[in-house]
Protein backbone atom coordinates (compact mmCIF):
# COMPACT_ATOMS: atom_id res chain seq x y z
CA UNK A 1 0.00 0.00 0.00
CA UNK A 2 1.44 3.37 -1.01
CA UNK A 3 0.42 6.87 0.13
CA UNK A 4 -0.38 7.84 -3.44
CA UNK A 5 -2.99 5.11 -3.72
CA UNK A 6 -6.72 5.89 -3.79
CA UNK A 7 -7.41 3.02 -1.40
CA UNK A 8 -4.96 4.48 1.11
CA UNK A 9 -6.48 7.96 0.91
CA UNK A 10 -10.13 6.99 0.94
CA UNK A 11 -9.97 3.72 2.86
CA UNK A 12 -7.03 2.99 5.11
CA UNK A 13 -6.28 6.54 6.27
CA UNK A 14 -9.82 7.60 7.27
CA UNK A 15 -10.40 4.30 9.10
CA UNK A 16 -7.07 4.61 10.95
CA UNK A 17 -7.84 8.21 11.91
CA UNK A 18 -11.31 7.31 13.11
CA UNK A 19 -10.02 4.44 15.24
CA UNK A 20 -7.09 6.51 16.57
CA UNK A 21 -9.15 9.51 17.62
CA UNK A 22 -11.94 7.34 19.04
CA UNK A 23 -9.49 5.65 21.43
CA UNK A 24 -8.72 6.97 24.90
CA UNK A 25 -5.14 8.27 25.29
CA UNK A 26 -3.90 5.05 26.92
CA UNK A 27 -4.91 2.97 23.90
CA UNK A 28 -3.87 5.37 21.13
CA UNK A 29 -0.40 3.86 20.68
CA UNK A 30 -1.85 0.34 20.64
CA UNK A 31 -4.35 1.32 17.97
CA UNK A 32 -1.72 3.10 15.90
CA UNK A 33 0.56 0.06 16.16
CA UNK A 34 -2.26 -2.24 14.99
CA UNK A 35 -2.96 0.05 12.02
CA UNK A 36 0.76 0.12 11.20
CA UNK A 37 0.95 -3.68 11.29
CA UNK A 38 -2.03 -3.94 8.94
CA UNK A 39 -0.30 -1.44 6.63
CA UNK A 40 2.91 -3.48 6.72
CA UNK A 41 1.15 -6.80 6.21
CA UNK A 42 -0.90 -5.52 3.27
CA UNK A 43 1.78 -6.34 0.68
CA UNK A 44 3.30 -9.49 2.13
CA UNK A 45 1.67 -10.75 5.36
CA UNK A 46 4.34 -13.37 6.13
CA UNK A 47 6.88 -10.66 6.94
CA UNK A 48 4.69 -9.52 9.81
CA UNK A 49 6.29 -12.27 11.91
CA UNK A 50 9.73 -11.03 10.93
CA UNK A 51 8.88 -7.50 12.03
CA UNK A 52 7.36 -8.67 15.31
CA UNK A 53 10.37 -10.86 16.10
CA UNK A 54 12.70 -7.96 15.36
CA UNK A 55 10.70 -5.75 17.72
CA UNK A 56 10.99 -8.38 20.50
CA UNK A 57 14.72 -8.92 19.82
CA UNK A 58 15.55 -5.21 19.98
CA UNK A 59 13.27 -4.52 22.91
CA UNK A 60 15.10 -7.22 24.91
CA UNK A 61 18.50 -6.03 23.64
CA UNK A 62 17.68 -2.51 24.84
CA UNK A 63 16.58 -3.76 28.25
CA UNK A 64 19.71 -5.90 28.57
CA UNK A 65 21.94 -2.98 27.57
CA UNK A 66 20.28 -0.78 30.17
CA UNK A 67 20.71 -3.41 32.93
CA UNK A 68 24.37 -3.99 32.05
CA UNK A 69 25.16 -0.27 31.89
CA UNK A 70 23.48 0.21 35.28
CA UNK A 71 25.79 -2.49 36.63
CA UNK A 72 28.71 -0.70 34.89
CA UNK A 73 29.44 -3.91 33.01
CA UNK A 74 30.78 -2.06 29.95
CA UNK A 75 32.46 -5.09 28.40
CA UNK A 76 29.34 -7.22 28.27
CA UNK A 77 27.20 -4.26 27.20
CA UNK A 78 29.54 -3.74 24.25
CA UNK A 79 29.22 -7.43 23.40
CA UNK A 80 25.41 -7.17 23.41
CA UNK A 81 25.58 -4.06 21.21
CA UNK A 82 28.02 -5.60 18.73
CA UNK A 83 26.06 -8.86 18.47
CA UNK A 84 22.75 -7.04 17.92
CA UNK A 85 24.25 -4.65 15.35
CA UNK A 86 25.96 -7.52 13.53
CA UNK A 87 22.68 -9.45 13.44
CA UNK A 88 20.84 -6.43 12.00
CA UNK A 89 23.46 -5.84 9.34
CA UNK A 90 23.54 -9.52 8.37
CA UNK A 91 19.77 -9.58 8.03
CA UNK A 92 19.77 -6.39 5.97
CA UNK A 93 22.55 -7.67 3.70
CA UNK A 94 20.76 -10.98 3.32
CA UNK A 95 17.56 -9.34 2.08
CA UNK A 96 19.19 -6.61 0.03
CA UNK A 97 22.06 -8.40 -1.60
CA UNK A 98 21.78 -12.17 -1.17
CA UNK A 99 18.20 -13.47 -1.07
CA UNK A 100 17.25 -12.58 -4.63
CA UNK A 101 20.48 -13.78 -6.22
CA UNK A 102 22.30 -16.63 -4.52
CA UNK A 103 19.38 -18.60 -3.12
CA UNK A 104 17.67 -21.00 -5.48
CA UNK A 105 14.42 -19.46 -4.27
CA UNK A 106 13.66 -15.80 -4.84
CA UNK A 107 12.88 -14.28 -1.45
CA UNK A 108 11.27 -10.88 -1.85
CA UNK A 109 12.55 -7.92 0.14
CA UNK A 110 10.31 -6.87 3.06
CA UNK A 111 8.99 -3.35 2.51
CA UNK A 112 11.00 -0.68 4.27
CA UNK A 113 13.68 -3.12 5.48
CA UNK A 114 16.51 -0.59 4.94
CA UNK A 115 14.60 2.08 6.82
CA UNK A 116 13.38 0.12 9.81
CA UNK A 117 16.76 -1.62 10.19
CA UNK A 118 18.49 1.78 10.37
CA UNK A 119 15.85 2.95 12.88
CA UNK A 120 16.52 -0.12 15.03
CA UNK A 121 20.29 0.42 14.80
CA UNK A 122 19.83 4.01 15.96
CA UNK A 123 17.84 2.66 18.91
CA UNK A 124 20.70 0.34 19.93
CA UNK A 125 23.32 3.08 19.62
CA UNK A 126 21.18 5.65 21.47
CA UNK A 127 20.53 3.31 24.40
CA UNK A 128 24.20 2.25 24.56
CA UNK A 129 25.41 5.84 24.50
CA UNK A 130 22.85 6.89 27.10
CA UNK A 131 21.11 9.29 24.70
CA UNK A 132 17.83 7.50 25.31
CA UNK A 133 16.40 5.19 27.95
CA UNK A 134 15.52 1.61 27.01
CA UNK A 135 11.76 1.30 26.51
CA UNK A 136 9.71 -0.33 29.24
CA UNK A 137 6.63 -0.65 27.10
CA UNK A 138 6.89 -2.97 24.10
CA UNK A 139 3.81 -1.43 22.45
CA UNK A 140 5.51 1.99 22.36
CA UNK A 141 8.68 0.43 21.03
CA UNK A 142 6.73 -1.54 18.42
CA UNK A 143 5.15 1.72 17.31
CA UNK A 144 8.56 3.37 17.00
CA UNK A 145 9.66 0.54 14.71
CA UNK A 146 6.53 0.07 12.64
CA UNK A 147 4.85 3.53 12.62
CA UNK A 148 3.35 3.42 9.13
CA UNK A 149 4.08 6.97 7.88
CA UNK A 150 7.85 6.35 8.17
CA UNK A 151 7.88 2.60 7.56
CA UNK A 152 8.24 2.31 3.78
CA UNK A 153 10.68 5.08 2.84
CA UNK A 154 11.55 6.94 6.01
CA UNK A 155 12.35 9.53 7.15
CA UNK A 156 14.74 7.53 9.32
CA UNK A 157 13.71 8.93 12.68
CA UNK A 158 16.32 8.24 15.35
CA UNK A 159 15.03 6.70 18.56
CA UNK A 160 16.24 9.63 20.68
CA UNK A 161 14.07 11.96 18.56
CA UNK A 162 10.88 9.95 19.00
CA UNK A 163 11.27 8.51 22.50
CA UNK A 164 9.57 11.35 24.40
CA UNK A 165 6.79 11.68 21.81
CA UNK A 166 5.85 8.03 22.24
CA UNK A 167 5.08 8.69 25.90
CA UNK A 168 3.53 12.09 25.61
CA UNK A 169 2.34 14.22 22.70
CA UNK A 170 -0.38 16.70 21.97
CA UNK A 171 -2.84 16.18 19.18
CA UNK A 172 -4.53 19.46 18.27
CA UNK A 173 -6.78 20.58 15.44
CA UNK A 174 -4.10 23.06 14.43
CA UNK A 175 -1.58 20.23 14.10
CA UNK A 176 -4.16 18.16 12.24
CA UNK A 177 -4.65 20.98 9.75
CA UNK A 178 -0.92 21.58 9.36
CA UNK A 179 -0.30 17.86 8.84
CA UNK A 180 -3.10 17.58 6.29
CA UNK A 181 -1.73 20.52 4.30
CA UNK A 182 1.75 19.02 4.34
CA UNK A 183 0.35 15.67 3.18
CA UNK A 184 -1.55 17.37 0.37
CA UNK A 185 1.49 19.34 -0.78
CA UNK A 186 3.50 16.10 -0.83
CA UNK A 187 0.77 14.31 -2.77
CA UNK A 188 0.72 17.15 -5.32
CA UNK A 189 4.49 16.95 -5.74
CA UNK A 190 4.19 13.24 -6.45
CA UNK A 191 1.06 13.12 -8.62
CA UNK A 192 1.25 16.41 -10.49
CA UNK A 193 4.99 16.92 -10.85
CA UNK A 194 6.95 13.68 -10.30
CA UNK A 195 4.59 11.51 -12.36
CA UNK A 196 4.45 14.03 -15.21
CA UNK A 197 8.23 14.44 -15.27
CA UNK A 198 8.44 10.65 -15.04
CA UNK A 199 6.64 10.33 -18.40
CA UNK A 200 9.39 12.32 -20.11
CA UNK A 201 12.18 10.50 -18.27
CA UNK A 202 10.67 7.06 -18.92
CA UNK A 203 10.31 7.78 -22.63
CA UNK A 204 13.86 9.04 -23.03
CA UNK A 205 15.54 6.47 -20.81
CA UNK A 206 13.85 3.67 -22.78
CA UNK A 207 15.78 4.76 -25.85
CA UNK A 208 19.35 3.44 -26.16
CA UNK A 209 21.62 6.07 -24.56
CA UNK A 210 23.82 6.04 -27.68
CA UNK A 211 20.91 7.29 -29.83
CA UNK A 212 20.36 10.49 -27.85
CA UNK A 213 21.73 13.87 -28.81
CA UNK A 214 23.16 16.25 -26.18
CA UNK A 215 19.85 18.08 -25.71
CA UNK A 216 17.95 14.78 -25.40
CA UNK A 217 20.45 13.42 -22.89
CA UNK A 218 20.26 16.63 -20.83
CA UNK A 219 16.46 16.51 -20.89
CA UNK A 220 16.60 12.91 -19.67
CA UNK A 221 19.00 13.80 -16.82
CA UNK A 222 17.18 16.99 -15.84
CA UNK A 223 13.75 15.38 -15.83
CA UNK A 224 15.10 12.59 -13.59
CA UNK A 225 16.77 15.11 -11.23
CA UNK A 226 13.48 16.95 -10.77
CA UNK A 227 11.35 13.81 -10.75
CA UNK A 228 13.40 12.19 -7.98
CA UNK A 229 13.22 15.36 -5.89
CA UNK A 230 9.45 15.67 -6.21
CA UNK A 231 8.93 11.93 -5.81
CA UNK A 232 11.03 11.42 -2.69
CA UNK A 233 10.52 14.94 -1.35
CA UNK A 234 6.79 14.52 -1.92
CA UNK A 235 6.82 11.18 -0.13
CA UNK A 236 8.72 12.71 2.80
CA UNK A 237 6.23 15.59 3.02
CA UNK A 238 3.38 13.09 3.06
CA UNK A 239 5.08 11.02 5.78
CA UNK A 240 5.87 14.06 7.94
CA UNK A 241 2.34 15.40 7.41
CA UNK A 242 0.76 12.08 8.38
CA UNK A 243 2.92 11.89 11.51
CA UNK A 244 1.83 15.43 12.42
CA UNK A 245 -1.82 14.42 12.05
CA UNK A 246 -1.22 11.71 14.66
CA UNK A 247 0.56 14.18 16.94
CA UNK A 248 4.21 13.38 16.12
CA UNK A 249 6.75 15.92 14.99
CA UNK A 250 9.43 14.74 12.55
CA UNK A 251 12.24 16.92 11.23
CA UNK A 252 12.19 17.91 7.55
CA UNK A 253 13.85 15.41 5.19
CA UNK A 254 14.44 17.92 2.36
CA UNK A 255 15.31 21.60 2.55
CA UNK A 256 15.32 22.98 -0.99
CA UNK A 257 18.44 21.02 -2.00
CA UNK A 258 18.70 22.46 -5.50
CA UNK A 259 19.43 25.90 -4.03
CA UNK A 260 22.71 24.62 -2.56
CA UNK A 261 25.98 26.40 -3.26
CA UNK A 262 28.21 23.40 -2.56
CA UNK A 263 27.96 19.62 -2.82
CA UNK A 264 28.33 19.32 0.96
CA UNK A 265 25.43 21.74 1.40
CA UNK A 266 23.38 19.74 -1.09
CA UNK A 267 23.77 16.67 1.11
CA UNK A 268 22.82 18.63 4.20
CA UNK A 269 19.57 19.49 2.42
CA UNK A 270 18.81 16.20 0.61
CA UNK A 271 17.55 13.06 2.44
CA UNK A 272 18.54 14.77 5.68
CA UNK A 273 17.56 11.85 7.90
CA UNK A 274 19.91 9.40 6.12
CA UNK A 275 22.74 11.97 6.10
CA UNK A 276 22.23 12.63 9.82
CA UNK A 277 22.21 8.90 10.52
CA UNK A 278 25.54 8.34 8.77
CA UNK A 279 27.02 11.45 10.38
CA UNK A 280 25.92 10.49 13.92
CA UNK A 281 26.62 6.78 13.81
CA UNK A 282 29.49 6.42 11.30
CA UNK A 283 31.30 9.66 10.44
CA UNK A 284 31.64 11.12 13.95
CA UNK A 285 32.53 7.79 15.65
CA UNK A 286 35.24 7.32 12.98
CA UNK A 287 36.73 10.64 14.04
CA UNK A 288 34.91 12.99 11.63
CA UNK A 289 37.18 15.84 10.58
CA UNK A 290 39.08 16.10 13.87
CA UNK A 291 41.94 13.71 13.16
CA UNK A 292 43.84 15.33 10.34
CA UNK A 293 43.35 15.62 6.60
CA UNK A 294 44.14 12.05 5.47
CA UNK A 295 41.81 10.58 8.10
CA UNK A 296 39.03 13.05 7.18
CA UNK A 297 39.35 12.02 3.54
CA UNK A 298 39.20 8.35 4.50
CA UNK A 299 36.17 8.93 6.73
CA UNK A 300 34.35 10.76 3.94
CA UNK A 301 35.08 7.93 1.52
CA UNK A 302 33.91 5.26 3.98
CA UNK A 303 30.64 7.12 4.63
CA UNK A 304 29.95 7.58 0.93
CA UNK A 305 30.82 4.01 0.03
CA UNK A 306 28.36 2.88 2.70
CA UNK A 307 25.74 5.35 1.43
CA UNK A 308 26.14 3.93 -2.07
CA UNK A 309 25.93 0.33 -0.83
CA UNK A 310 22.87 1.19 1.28
CA UNK A 311 21.00 2.00 -1.94
CA UNK A 312 21.74 -1.38 -3.52
CA UNK A 313 24.37 -3.75 -4.82
CA UNK A 314 24.46 -2.49 -8.40
CA UNK A 315 27.80 -1.30 -9.73
CA UNK A 316 26.28 2.12 -10.41
CA UNK A 317 25.38 2.68 -6.75
CA UNK A 318 28.95 1.87 -5.77
CA UNK A 319 30.23 4.20 -8.46
CA UNK A 320 27.81 6.89 -7.29
CA UNK A 321 29.07 6.54 -3.70
CA UNK A 322 32.72 6.76 -4.81
CA UNK A 323 31.86 9.77 -7.01
CA UNK A 324 30.42 11.69 -4.05
CA UNK A 325 33.23 10.58 -1.74
CA UNK A 326 35.78 12.00 -4.21
CA UNK A 327 33.75 15.15 -4.87
CA UNK A 328 33.49 15.93 -1.16
CA UNK A 329 37.20 15.27 -0.62
CA UNK A 330 37.95 17.66 -3.49
CA UNK A 331 35.50 20.26 -2.24
CA UNK A 332 36.32 20.13 1.47
CA UNK A 333 40.06 19.52 1.30
CA UNK A 334 41.81 19.85 -2.07
CA UNK A 335 39.94 22.74 -3.75
CA UNK A 336 38.47 24.40 -0.69
CA UNK A 337 40.27 27.72 -1.06
CA UNK A 338 39.78 27.93 -4.83
CA UNK A 339 36.04 27.23 -4.58
CA UNK A 340 35.56 29.79 -1.83
CA UNK A 341 36.84 32.53 -4.14
CA UNK A 342 34.35 31.71 -6.93
CA UNK A 343 31.22 33.86 -7.30
CA UNK A 344 28.12 32.38 -5.63
CA UNK A 345 26.20 31.90 -8.90
CA UNK A 346 29.08 29.97 -10.45
CA UNK A 347 29.42 27.76 -7.37
CA UNK A 348 25.70 27.11 -7.53
CA UNK A 349 25.90 26.12 -11.20
CA UNK A 350 28.89 23.87 -10.55
CA UNK A 351 27.03 22.18 -7.71
CA UNK A 352 23.99 21.58 -9.91
CA UNK A 353 26.22 20.16 -12.64
CA UNK A 354 27.87 17.75 -10.18
CA UNK A 355 24.49 16.69 -8.81
CA UNK A 356 22.93 16.06 -12.24
CA UNK A 357 25.98 14.01 -13.29
CA UNK A 358 25.60 12.10 -10.01
CA UNK A 359 21.97 11.28 -10.79
CA UNK A 360 23.00 9.86 -14.18
CA UNK A 361 25.25 7.40 -12.34
CA UNK A 362 22.42 6.73 -9.89
CA UNK A 363 19.63 5.92 -12.34
CA UNK A 364 21.61 4.14 -15.06
CA UNK A 365 21.24 0.34 -15.12
CA UNK A 366 25.01 -0.20 -15.60
CA UNK A 367 28.23 1.86 -15.85
CA UNK A 368 28.41 1.51 -19.65
CA UNK A 369 24.96 3.11 -20.09
CA UNK A 370 25.87 5.78 -17.54
CA UNK A 371 29.08 6.78 -19.30
CA UNK A 372 27.42 6.61 -22.73
CA UNK A 373 24.70 8.99 -21.55
CA UNK A 374 27.26 11.28 -19.89
CA UNK A 375 29.26 11.27 -23.13
CA UNK A 376 26.13 12.26 -25.06
CA UNK A 377 25.40 15.05 -22.55
CA UNK A 378 28.82 16.50 -23.16
CA UNK A 379 28.60 16.43 -26.92
CA UNK A 380 29.72 13.08 -28.34
CA UNK A 381 26.59 12.77 -30.48
CA UNK A 382 25.46 16.13 -31.82
CA UNK A 383 23.37 18.78 -30.13
CA UNK A 384 19.81 18.35 -31.41
CA UNK A 385 17.81 15.63 -33.12
CA UNK A 386 14.09 15.29 -33.98
CA UNK A 387 13.44 13.05 -30.93
CA UNK A 388 14.94 15.60 -28.53
CA UNK A 389 13.13 18.41 -30.33
CA UNK A 390 9.81 16.62 -29.87
CA UNK A 391 10.37 15.87 -26.18
CA UNK A 392 11.67 19.36 -25.36
CA UNK A 393 8.59 20.76 -27.13
CA UNK A 394 6.25 18.74 -24.94
CA UNK A 395 8.22 18.82 -21.68
CA UNK A 396 9.57 22.36 -21.31
CA UNK A 397 6.45 23.60 -19.49
CA UNK A 398 6.52 20.93 -16.80
CA UNK A 399 10.27 21.35 -16.51
CA UNK A 400 9.81 25.08 -15.95
CA UNK A 401 7.07 24.45 -13.38
CA UNK A 402 9.38 21.92 -11.71
CA UNK A 403 12.25 24.40 -11.53
CA UNK A 404 9.96 27.08 -10.08
CA UNK A 405 8.54 24.57 -7.59
CA UNK A 406 12.07 24.02 -6.23
CA UNK A 407 11.98 27.54 -4.79
CA UNK A 408 10.84 28.20 -1.20
CA UNK A 409 8.54 31.05 -2.23
CA UNK A 410 5.47 28.81 -2.65
CA UNK A 411 5.64 27.33 0.83
CA UNK A 412 6.01 30.81 2.26
CA UNK A 413 3.04 31.99 0.21
CA UNK A 414 0.93 29.08 1.49
CA UNK A 415 1.90 29.82 5.08
CA UNK A 416 1.14 33.51 4.66
CA UNK A 417 -2.27 32.73 3.19
CA UNK A 418 -3.16 30.40 6.05
CA UNK A 419 -1.95 32.82 8.68
CA UNK A 420 -3.43 35.94 7.14
CA UNK A 421 -6.66 35.65 9.10
CA UNK A 422 -10.19 35.61 7.74
CA UNK A 423 -9.55 37.74 4.68
CA UNK A 424 -7.56 35.15 2.70
CA UNK A 425 -8.62 32.00 4.52
CA UNK A 426 -11.47 31.09 2.10
CA UNK A 427 -9.10 31.55 -0.85
CA UNK A 428 -6.49 29.23 0.65
CA UNK A 429 -9.21 26.71 1.42
CA UNK A 430 -10.37 26.80 -2.20
CA UNK A 431 -6.74 26.52 -3.40
CA UNK A 432 -6.04 23.44 -1.26
CA UNK A 433 -9.41 21.91 -2.24
CA UNK A 434 -8.61 22.43 -5.92
CA UNK A 435 -5.17 20.91 -5.43
CA UNK A 436 -6.73 17.86 -3.80
CA UNK A 437 -9.22 17.42 -6.64
CA UNK A 438 -6.43 17.76 -9.21
CA UNK A 439 -4.43 15.09 -7.41
CA UNK A 440 -7.39 12.72 -7.28
CA UNK A 441 -8.05 13.29 -10.98
CA UNK A 442 -4.35 12.65 -11.67
CA UNK A 443 -4.39 9.46 -9.63
CA UNK A 444 -7.47 8.19 -11.43
CA UNK A 445 -6.25 8.88 -14.95
CA UNK A 446 -2.53 8.16 -14.58
CA UNK A 447 -1.03 4.72 -14.63
CA UNK A 448 -0.30 3.71 -11.07
CA UNK A 449 3.20 4.69 -10.07
CA UNK A 450 5.01 3.73 -6.91
CA UNK A 451 7.51 5.86 -4.98
CA UNK A 452 11.08 5.57 -6.28
CA UNK A 453 12.71 5.31 -2.87
CA UNK A 454 10.42 2.47 -1.75
CA UNK A 455 12.73 0.09 -3.68
CA UNK A 456 15.61 0.82 -1.32
Partner 1 sequence: MKEKLILCEAGRLAAVVLLIVLLFLLSGTAPQGDIPLEKLETLTAPQLEEGATQKGEGRMLRRFYGLNPADYKGTVLYYPSTNMGVEELLLVKLEDSAQGETVQQAINARLAAQKESFDGYGVEQTAMLNNNAVVEVRGCYVLFAVSENSQKIRQNFLDAL
Three-state secondary structure call for residue 306: helix
Residue 313: CB minimum distance to partner 1, A: 12
- The three-point CA angle 147-150-156 to 5° equals 115
Is 171 exposed, middle or buried (CB count within 10 Å of its CB: 0-12, 13-18, 19+)? Answer: middle
Determine the Cα–Cα distance for residues 43 and 20; give it in Å rounded to an integer: 22
Residue whose CB is less far from partner 1, 385 or 446 = 446
Interaction between residue 67 and partner 1 (CB under 8 A): yes
Whether residue 58 lies in the annotated active site: no
Binding mask 350-369 for partner 1 (x = CB under 8 A): ---------------x----
Contacts of 259 (CB under 8 A, 6+ apart): 269, 348, 406, 407, 408
With CA atoms as reference, report the closest residue to 228 among 320, 95, 349.
320
Supply the DSSP string of 215-261, one letter for each residue: HHHHHHHHHHHHHHHHHHHHHHHHHHHHHHHTT-----S-S-GGG-S
Residue 215: CB minimum distance to partner 1, A: 20
With CA atoms as reference, report the closest residue to 38 among 57, 13, 18.
13
**Region from 107-115, 181-189, 406-414, 434-442 binding partner 1, contact rule CB under 8 A:** 107-115
Determine the Cα–Cα distance for residues 261 and 242; give it in Å rounded to an integer: 31
Interaction between residue 43 and partner 1 (CB under 8 A): yes
Interaction between residue 293 and partner 1 (CB under 8 A): no
Interaction between residue 108 and partner 1 (CB under 8 A): yes
Interaction between residue 14 and partner 1 (CB under 8 A): no
Q: Which 250-289 positions form the footprint of partner 1 (CB under 8 A)?
A: none
Q: Quick one: which of 105, 168, 290, 341 contacts partner 1 (CB under 8 A)?
A: 105
Residue 16: CB minimum distance to partner 1, A: 19
Size of the site for partner 1 (CB under 8 A): 45
Residue whose CB is less far from partner 1, 60 or 259 = 60
Binding mask 44-63 for partner 1 (x = CB under 8 A): x-x--xx--xx-xx--xx-x
Determine the Cα–Cα distance for residues 77 and 303; give it in Å rounded to an integer: 26
Q: Quick one: which of 23, 38, 85, 91 contacts partner 1 (CB under 8 A)?
A: 91
Which residue in 58, 136, 311, 348 is the catalytic one? 311
Determine the Cα–Cα distance for residues 355 and 267; give it in Å rounded to an integer: 10
Q: Which 171-210 positions form the footprint of partner 1 (CB under 8 A)?
A: 199, 202-203, 205-206
**Long-range contacts from 276-280, C-beta under 8 angstroms, 24+ separation:** 276/156, 276/158, 277/118, 277/122, 277/156, 277/158, 278/303, 278/306, 278/307, 279/303, 280/122, 280/125, 280/158
Determine the Cα–Cα distance for residues 263 and 78; give it in Å rounded to an integer: 36
Residue 450: CB minimum distance to partner 1, A: 5
Residue 53: CB minimum distance to partner 1, A: 5
Q: Which 419-448 positions form the footprint of partner 1 (CB under 8 A)?
A: 446-448
**Region from 94-102, 118-126, 158-166, 218-226 binding partner 1, contact rule CB under 8 A:** 94-102
Determine the Cα–Cα distance for residues 32 and 166; give it in Å rounded to an integer: 11
Contacts of 409 (CB under 8 A, 6+ apart): none
Catalytic residue IDs: 311
By CB under 8 A, name the binding residues for partner 1: 2, 43-44, 46, 49-50, 53-54, 56-57, 60-61, 63-64, 67-68, 70-71, 84, 87, 91, 94, 99-100, 103-109, 111, 199, 202-203, 205-206, 365, 446-450, 454-455
Amino acid sequence: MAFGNLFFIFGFLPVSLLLYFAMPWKLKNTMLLLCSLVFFAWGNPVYLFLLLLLVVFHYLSGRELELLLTQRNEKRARLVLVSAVAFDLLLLCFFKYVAGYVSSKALPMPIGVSYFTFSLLSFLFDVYRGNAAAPHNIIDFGLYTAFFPKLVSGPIVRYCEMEAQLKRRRVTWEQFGRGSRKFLVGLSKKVLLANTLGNTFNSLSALPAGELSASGAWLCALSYSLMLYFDFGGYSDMAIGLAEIFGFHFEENFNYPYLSGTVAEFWRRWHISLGTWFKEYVYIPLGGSRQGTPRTALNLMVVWLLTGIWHGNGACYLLWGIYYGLLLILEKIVLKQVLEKLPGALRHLLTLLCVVVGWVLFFSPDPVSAFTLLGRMFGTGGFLDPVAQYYWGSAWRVLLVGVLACLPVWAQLGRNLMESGRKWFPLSLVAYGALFLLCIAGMMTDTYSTFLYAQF
